[in-house]
Amino acid sequence: MNEDDRGGRGVGKRRGRPSVAERLESGDLTAEDAIELARESVLRTLTAAPKSRSELARALARKGFPEHVVEPVLDRFEEVALVDDAAYADMIVRTRHAERGQARRAISAELRRRGIDTETAGEALSQIDGDDEAEAAAVLARKHVARTRGLDRDKRVRRAVGALSRKGHSPGVAFAAVSDALRAEGDEAEDDELGLVDD
């Protein structure tokens, strides 16, 4: 049973089947059909999750679509705002910072990997200021310090600072946040021993 018998469209080069570019060149596929296949592929991808224009272009290229098919399809998706790199970058910045506590540096690297241009990335990253980063680092530090109770202090510091560094926080910010979290934990323990903590 071949791919067409199973109902698949077979856009890429699979199991010896010609790629979209080869089918276009041989006349087995019209330009209109190739554009429709590319459009359907982009819609399926966007239904699963938002993507940047660059990510979609790479996905279509992997499936064998030539650039002269990809570009007009993606242009149309941008015209109708189904592909919007600025909105996508804003969403990445908000979610990575608020939900994961990532710093600007880590988010910037992710935006580059996703093909967001420098100017668009810079505008999106401008929503995070130094105070926001310090607060995110403090939240992460408290979480990681709490997870390592019972270990010796040096090991706790190394683990927590390492976790913050992986989120893109600078060593200085990470050490300060971890020190504050350990100090706060010590104050809470003292208050608890003195009976000052409310139940």
For 40-89, the pLDDT digits (tens) are: 999 999 999 999 999 999 999 999 899 999 999 999 999 999 999 999 99
Q: Read off the pLDDT of each residue in 154-169 and give the average, rounded to a whole number.
A: 94
Phi, psi of 153 (to 5 degrees): -60, -45
Domain boundaries along the sequence of the chain: 20-83, 84-128, 129-194
Residue 194, pLDDT score: 39
Instruction: Give me the half-sphere count of Cα atoms (radius 13 Å) on the Cβ side of residue 105.
Output: 12
Question: Is 124 in contact with 86 (CB distance < 8 Å)?
Answer: yes
Tokens of 105: 């540096």
Instruction: Give the architecture (CATH level 2) of 84-128.
Output: Orthogonal Bundle (1.10)
Closest CA to 43 of 32, 56, 33, 55: 56
Averaged confidence pLDDT in the chain: 86
Single pTM value for the model: 0.75
Q: pLDDT tens for residues 104-139?
A: 999 999 999 999 999 999 999 999 998 999 999 999
Residue 187, pLDDT score: 59
Q: Read off the pLDDT of each residue in 80-100 and give the average, rounded to a whole number.
A: 96
Residue 29, pLDDT score: 78
Residue 73, pLDDT score: 97
Task: For residue 186, give the 3-state DSSP assignment.
Answer: helix
Lowest mean pLDDT among 7-11, 33-37, 148-152: 7-11
Beta strands in 90-148 (DSSP E): none
Instruction: Give the architecture (CATH level 2) of 20-83.
Output: Orthogonal Bundle (1.10)
Confidence grade of residue 193 (pLDDT, cut at 50, 70, 90): very low
Same fold, 20-83 and 84-128: yes
